[in-house]
Amino acid sequence: MGYKNLEFPIGSRFLVTGGAGFIGSNLCEAILDMGYFVRCLDNFSTGKRENIAPFLENPLFELLEGDIRDLDTCMQACKGIDFITHQASWGSVPRSIEMPLLYEEINIKGTLNMMEAARQNKAKKFVYASSSSVYGDEPNLPKVEDRVGKVLSPYALTKKVGEEYGRLYTQIYGLETVGFRYFNVFGRRQDPHGYYAAVIPKFVKALLNNEISTINGDGGQSRDFTYIENVIEANLKGMLAPKEAAGEVYNIAFGGRVFLVDLYNKLSELLEKDIQPNFGPDRAGDVKHSNADISKAKKLLGYNPDYDFNSGIELAVNWYKFNLR
């Protein structure tokens, strides 16, 4: 795989914020498997204890329960840390429309707290999660980093502000930041429960339970679905990126395009189900089409994703078959 042979300096210490979440717990696992120390910071507002339960007996793993909205907690989390991957945030476009003040506190203030703590503790690299939602109403495909439109949700705005802080912290303070615009990440440990669950685990859960799914709109929306292993590769390569790559944001995807109705049909085929979905209204704040140009990440980070949609979705479905309750 694209990151198995990567090496960091002996004794390197890592911090994963949101380490009990979907992406964060997979990053914790990958770094531990490489033999390095990992500190996980999470307040369990969306992360799950079962995601990190397998690591608790590992002497290289440390759990710090705390909130990124508290600067003292962030300072404690960054103490003695070399590399930071900042995944802690609240996702979901619809929820951000309902709770804009909370998103401001967590995604903007929390991210700024973490960058400041990283700077004061002299971290070598600060990698952080942004989102393809920052492209907003920019209609052209594929999405290219320097061509964005007007954001369509508070969530997207919080991610755009985080990118600007990342650029400034590199430019003004010399903190080497690397931002990732994730495109619809999916895979093991992604939570299928709740109103705001992501579309793939939500569809899988409904199909396994012989329930009817609702597709927002006509199913003609397209997404660049990105398997979790590609995201792990990007984060690790981002932490090893040359200084010239800092202060920038990068599309992290495979570079494909799948329509929602085709996604539903593929999942139905893999799960051997024949249940017709409902079609509901479009979701407020949603981007209609999403497809990434990943040439910048390939050139500057050496990013070279191994998993296309088909290979990733088969692995994800197999995981859900045995782990979904």
pLDDT tens for residues 24-37?
A: 999 999 999 999 99
Q: Which of 59, 66, 7, 22 is nearest to 40 (CA)?
A: 66
Residue 174 resides in a domain: yes
**How many folded domains does the chain comprise?**
1
What pLDDT digit, counting tens, does each position of 38-54 carry?
999 999 999 999 999 99
Go through 155-180 and write b for each residue having 16 or more CB atoms within 10 A of its CB, e for each that does not.
bbbbbbbbbebbbebbeeeebbbbbb
Does 140 reside within a domain?
A: yes
With 0-12 CB in 10 A as exposed, 13-18 as middle and 19+ as buried, what is 281?
exposed
Give the number of other Cβ atoms within 10 Å of residue 325's Cβ: 5
- Name the pLDDT band for 195 (thresholds 50, 70, 90): low
Q: Give the model's pLDDT for residue 285.
A: 66
Enclosing H/E stretch for 167: helix 154-173
Distances (CA, A) of 279 to 1, 122, 215, 221, 287: 38, 51, 5, 12, 17
Could you tell me which of 288, 174, 292, 271 has the C-alpha nearest to residue 226?
292
Find the length of the chain. 325
Domain boundaries, position 303: 13-186+227-255+292-307
Beta pairing, strands 278-280 & 214-216: parallel
Is the pLDDT reported for residue 1 higher than 70?
no
Residue 280 lies in a domain: no
> In the prediction, which pLDDT does 117 show?
98
Residue 142 per-residue DSSP state: S
Mean pLDDT of 264-289: 84
| Catalytic option among 128, 155, 169, 250 | 155
Between the alpha carbon of residue 287 and those of residues 1, 13, 139, 183, 270, the distances in Å are 31, 37, 9, 12, 27
Residue 325, pLDDT score: 60
> Does 286 reside within a domain?
no
Has residue 199 been placed in a domain? no
Query: Which position has the higher pLDDT, 144 or 219?
Result: 144
Q: Does residue 194 carry a pLDDT above 80?
A: no
Segment 289-311 mean pLDDT: 95
- Alpha carbon distance 241, 245 (integer Å): 6
Identify whether 318 is part of a domain.
Answer: no
pTM of the model: 0.94
Which tens digit of pLDDT belongs to each residue from 64-85? 999 999 999 999 999 999 999 9
State how far the Cα of 13 lies from the Cα of 33, in Å rounded to an integer.
13
Question: What is the model's pLDDT at position 245?
Answer: 98
Confirm whether 29 is domain-assigned. yes
- The answer to whether residue 251 is domain-embedded is yes
Q: Which strand (E) or helix (H) includes residue 14?
A: strand 13-17
Does the active-site annotation cover 128? Answer: no
Question: How far, in Å, CA of 14 to CA of 242, rounded?
Answer: 18
Distance linking the first and last C-alpha atoms of the chain: 29
User: Among the ranges 2-6, 85-89, 212-216, which has the highest mean pLDDT value?
Assistant: 85-89
- Separation in Å, CA 136 to CA 115, 234, 255, 281, 282: 25, 23, 18, 19, 15
Q: Which domain CATH number covers 21?
A: 3.40.50.720
